[in-house]
Structure 1
């Protein structure tokens, strides 16, 4: 068994995201300890973890709706504002006949 197998959900993560995950695991999931390591506040680390969770969730949904996943990924990475992302997703679904 090869030790170099990378799970699919990790492939598109940035190097700093992978580093954060490693620190998180080594700190036994203590966000307070991670905040100390990075020299930031607990809420800042919590926000970073929440964005990382969103990135992973978006990857999990990508197979179903690649366009929507792209829009969500752009919003999570702050390349597109949240309100614009919502409008784009709504219009895409409306054009497909999906009224969610």
Structure 2
């Protein structure tokens, strides 16, 4: 599994979570915050930073990561939501493992 940082982007803040170390950091959603996030991501040596496309709010972070040569993936919010809904449905659909189909 590749080591990643996931980012929840809001109007004012960037909430970053480093998966392998379970470390949470919060940055301002501006140029200075994007720069600080890029320096932190480079220090962690993760393979990729992942965030949802959020209209104008993700542009600053995208530019900052690209300028620092950090690999990132911008994800469609609808696809991320559908994935989570599918995972929730798949896990709780059957009462016991015996009811779950093979494969």
TM-score of the two chains, using structure 1 as the length reference: 0.28
Higher RCO, 1 vs 2 (CA within 8 Å, ≥6 residues apart): 2
Task: Flag the structure with higher helix content.
Answer: 1
> TM-score, with normalisation over the residues of structure 2?
0.27
Structure in which a larger fraction of residues adopt strand: 2
